Chains A and B, each alone.
Chain A
Amino acid sequence: MFKKILIANRGEIAVRVMRACRELGIATVAVYSEADREALHVRRADQACLLGPAPAGESYLNIEKLLQAARRTGAEAIHPGYGFLAENAEFARRCAAAGVKFIGPNAEAMERLGSKTSARQTAAAAGVPAVPGSAALDSPLAAEAAAEALGYPVLVKAAAGGGGKGMRLVRARAEMASAFAAAESEARNAFGDGELYLEKLLENPRHIEVQVLGDEHGHLVYLGERECSLQRRHQKVLEESPSPLVDEALRRRMGETAVRLARAAGYSNAGTVEFLADAGRNFYFLEMNTRLQVEHPVTEMVTGLDLVQLQIRIAAGEELPFEQQDVELRGHAIECRVYAEDPENNFFPSPGRITRLLTPAGPGIRDESGVYEGWSVPVEYDPLLSKLVAHAGSRPQAIARMQRALEEYFVGGIATNLALFRRILRHPEFVAGKLDTGFLDRLLGERTAEDGCATQSEDGAAAEVAAIAAALFAAQPAPGAALSANGARPAEATSPWRRAARQEGLRGGMGRKRL
């Protein structure tokens, strides 16, 4: 087993990986940029290396600096987390050349599955059904011909794409030329690769993915599925496992299909095969993510496995410690991605200082956070603050548990999307498990009473309490002044008279300062 691992990432995932390392008795090395000097992941590591300035290209995406840090600290392996260099085959290759183990699949498998067109070829060769589509296209004319064959509407997609970038919906032939040009330039800018292909548009499908795990000795298993249909702008917002759509038979079919694809690609370590599914329970291969996923905790909760520890053990050459028939799903888990963004202000990011942080606890709750009270969320990176996970015996119980946890959760000073989750979890369609990728857009389009502020008529008693509280807050000294007495003299902050008395006391000299 490794003695020391460098984590080439930041935020909550870096903290997550460090926790796994600590439990395995492995020392950890954090890396950080100048914007992250005070970040939580730096404090949680045994050692930390400054990479450079805030821009990711000069820090978290800089392969040379990361390898230098590994060399300098004697780290034997690198965990890439997700995002940044996690799906970069060149990074995996450079690690191998430098004699540092990359915790993930080998570079060849990453390449085979990294480009969407080559992944579709691999899928076709393995007999895995994919969303009907075309091969790589070299011109708008070729795209028009391919679209005629598929039937409109179609999606123009970037082969290197992800997160909705380099993607355009085309409903008719007349829109093709401009959509093709726009997608190509966007793909070139975002991924340095303008290759495009077509996919037939499935209207409001479900997004369901299968977790696979393989060791370096040819063993591969699937660990159930995750329902990830709740998305905004093609970004996942809430995930759960198991999927309300999937029964035992479908789970086996999807799982075996995912394993077949992974085997065909020569895959090892943790990976995720994404499918689109329709109401008739047909499913189509979409893409494979050759890394750990943000939503891995829901799988961990229902399988009882620690995926990060397993990733590390696999990378160290161990065999999978269980077989497919040992995998059992227990209960239901839901994850909410807590972001520093403001749903009431067009989802603007809201970096800034966290003035107060109350985190939920209690049965079945897991808050995987990368922040702390008093820290300023930097503007430079992804605004994911934490992954909040609830696990319970059944889906209704997990929903109730998550609602309870969301009520306990509070982040002061910056806007978050916590209130949006409260809305989602109350929604009758969500409660009924009727999910598709259009759900969140429809929900955001619904105006409800709570979009604005609660009014007197609907909520008189609580509004009056809010009025009393507002007056008490207004009577408090400014934050940072007398609030340093927090805890020691809890009544002080609530009492305007004490504040007045103190001011008089200060004016009257130190002798009268005792409150």
Chain B
Amino acid sequence: MVYEVLIGGRSYRVEFKRGEPGYACRVDGREVALESVSGGHEVLWLLVGGRSYEVRRQAQANGIMHLEIRGRRYAAEVHDPRAFRGRRAAAGASAGPCKLVAPMPGKVVRLLKAEGAKVEAGEGVVVVEAMKMQNEIRSPRKGVVKKILAAAGARVNAGETLAVVE
């Protein structure tokens, strides 16, 4: 099994092969002595070259895995080359429509922009209230509010599209 992992702009080719005991691991073609035990949900206990690591998976969002090792955090993008469908090419485009999504479940309290209005990068479009805090959902770039999908007073879930900026 082969995975391509992107961390901090560097790509790692991680390969697993069944071995005795456990399995053999290669990183970029180089043999790595690996032992791995599950620490339950979201946690792996690894021995890599005799060094012990507890790796925690904090969250997964938009294809990025957020990992934590000894208090340091790593954002990893994992690709199974056999299933590679150019996901990376699709991400990060600065042209085309851009969805503003609710970062957490909550209630829409105000619309700051109407459909058709111009927005600057960083300007608020919708205000969502969650946990007693009002949070402005801002446009990541300059453009025109193409669509408002949220209604004032409506409940929204995390990841729900509130508006589209183009």
Contact = CB atoms under 8 A, between A and B. Distances in A.
Interface in B2-39: 3, 5, 7-10, 12, 14, 16, 18, 23, 25, 27, 32, 34, 36-38
Dominant secondary structure at the A interface: mixed
A458 B2 CA distance: 26
B38 A486 contact: yes
Interface string A14-57: 00000000000000000000000000000000000000000000
B18 A497 contact: yes
Nearest to B38: A493
A491 B16 contact: no
Contacts of A486: 38, 40-41
B5 A471 contact: yes
A422 B73 CA distance: 12
A410 B8 contact: no
A351 B131 CA distance: 8
Interface residues of B, number: 56
Nearest to A423: B71
Contacts of A410: 42-43, 56, 58, 68
B59 A413 contact: yes
Nearest to A460: B10
A340 B41 contact: no
Given A407-B70, A467-B27, A492-B38, A412 B59 contact: yes
A356 B41 contact: yes
B7 A453 contact: yes
A464 interface: yes
A407 B71 CA distance: 5
A468 B34 contact: yes
A466 to B, nearest CB: 4
Contacts of B78: 470-471, 473-474
Interface string A446-471: 00001011111001011111111111
Interface string A338-378: 00111001101111100110100000000000000100000
Residue of B32, B36, B59, B71 with highest tally of chain A CB at under 10 A: B71
B25 to A, nearest CB: 6
A459 B67 CA distance: 14
Contact of A453 (B43, B70, B73, B80): B73
A197 B44 CA distance: 56
A496 B73 contact: no
Contacts of A473: 44, 57, 65, 67, 78
Nearest to A480: B41
A86 to B, nearest CB: 15
Interface string A482-508: 010011001111111100000000000
Contacts, number: 187
Nearest to A340: B131
Given A351-B104, A379-B131, A453-B8, A465 B73 contact: no
B103 to A, nearest CB: 5
A475 interface: yes
Contact of B9 (A340, A456, A483): A456
Contacts of B132: 381-382
Given A407-B71, A455-B8, A494-B36, A349 B56 contact: no
A356 B56 contact: yes
Contacts of B76: 466-467, 470
A419 interface: yes
Contacts of A419: 71, 73
Interface string B68-97: 111111111010100000000000000000
Contacts of B7: 453, 456, 463, 466-467, 470
B23 to A, nearest CB: 7
B48 to A, nearest CB: 5
Contact of B3 (A381, A383, A474): A474
Contacts of B18: 497
Contact of B72 (A462, A468, A491, A496): A462
Nearest to B55: A469
Residue of A356, A454, A464 with highest tally of chain B CB at under 10 A: A464
B41 A467 contact: no
Given A412-B56, A494-B36, A463 B10 contact: yes
Nearest to A345: B103
A454 B16 CA distance: 24
A456 B10 contact: yes
B5 A467 contact: yes
Interface in A225-275: none
Contacts of B71: 406-407, 419, 422
A487 B40 contact: yes
B42 A412 contact: yes
Contacts of A469: 44, 46, 53, 55, 57, 67, 69
A419 B70 CA distance: 11
A495 B65 contact: no
7 contacts: A379-B104, A410-B58, A412-B42, A464-B27, A464-B32, A472-B36, A486-B41
Interface of B: 1, 3, 5, 7-10, 12, 14, 16, 18, 23, 25, 27, 32, 34, 36-38, 40-44, 46, 48, 51, 53, 55-59, 65, 67-76, 78, 80, 103-106, 130-133, 135, 158
What are the 3 tightest A-B residue pairs by CB atom distance, in nearest-first order?
A470-B76, A467-B12, A349-B131
